[in-house]
Amino acid sequence: MAPFYSAALYDKCGCKLEECISSLSMESSKKVTGVDGALYTLFFTTENCFSNFHPCEQLYIDGESFSCSEQYFMYRKAVTFGDDASARKILTASRPGEMKRLGREVTPFDVETWRTASIDAMITAVAHKFAQNESLREELLKTAGSTLVECNPRDPIWGIGLSMKNPAAADPKKWKGKNLLGRILTEVRDCMIDDTDADIQDVINAVKKSVNV
């Protein structure tokens, strides 16, 4: 079994390079009917509000302010491993790509520890992002009745390891990734639909129970 996080997973994606490049210029999301008859909202690129790189008007968590959910996610990674220097650098970074790079440099690092902690961090980031930003929440709620799918051809963990251009993106049995981000987004959305006045911590706890890895 491949490790939860490894350089190989992020440096190789199993698709042609031109497919990765072409996916960047495509529409950022679309709703499709899968081969199983279910509805799926496929998304990718930083232009889409479901992306962790997408800017947030406000995002306050545990007394800190973040410009996007990626910044919080990488900050949590640094804090988890006690890397205060990296945590400070991530907080002052202005570009999501830089935040991600700094997160990859966190030391010490343990794969198994981050396997669990990363899911908790992502659920927290996504729940707060859509709870605190009304315009983003409205876009999320528009996907009701469908499963959100991150079509990142280079990410077999948070995405499906396939681009939106690939016909297999509409067939869960052919996905090359776990779609963890898509699953978390779907669960957060459903919790918000079920209880519009739900406390943010209740939403987070409910999603943790639903997303089994």
Query: Which residues in the chain show pLDDT less than 50?
Result: 1-26
pLDDT the model gives residue 213: 57
pLDDT the model gives residue 8: 37
pLDDT the model gives residue 28: 86
* Contact of 54 with 188, CB cutoff 8 Å: no
pLDDT the model gives residue 55: 96
**Which tokens belong to 53?**
């790189």
**Which tokens belong to 14?**
């199993």
pLDDT the model gives residue 27: 60
* Contact of 39 with 142, CB cutoff 8 Å: no
**Which tokens belong to 208?**
């943790």
pLDDT the model gives residue 10: 33
Using alpha carbons, select from 35, 10, 8, 14 the residue that is nearest to residue 169: 35
Query: Any long-range contacts for 175-182 (C-beta under 8 Å, 24+ apart)?
Result: 176/14, 177/152, 178/213, 179/149, 179/150, 180/119, 180/122, 180/211, 180/213, 181/50, 181/52, 181/122, 181/126, 181/148, 181/150, 182/147, 182/148, 182/149, 182/150
Please report which helix (H) or strand (E) contains residue 115, including its range: helix 111-132
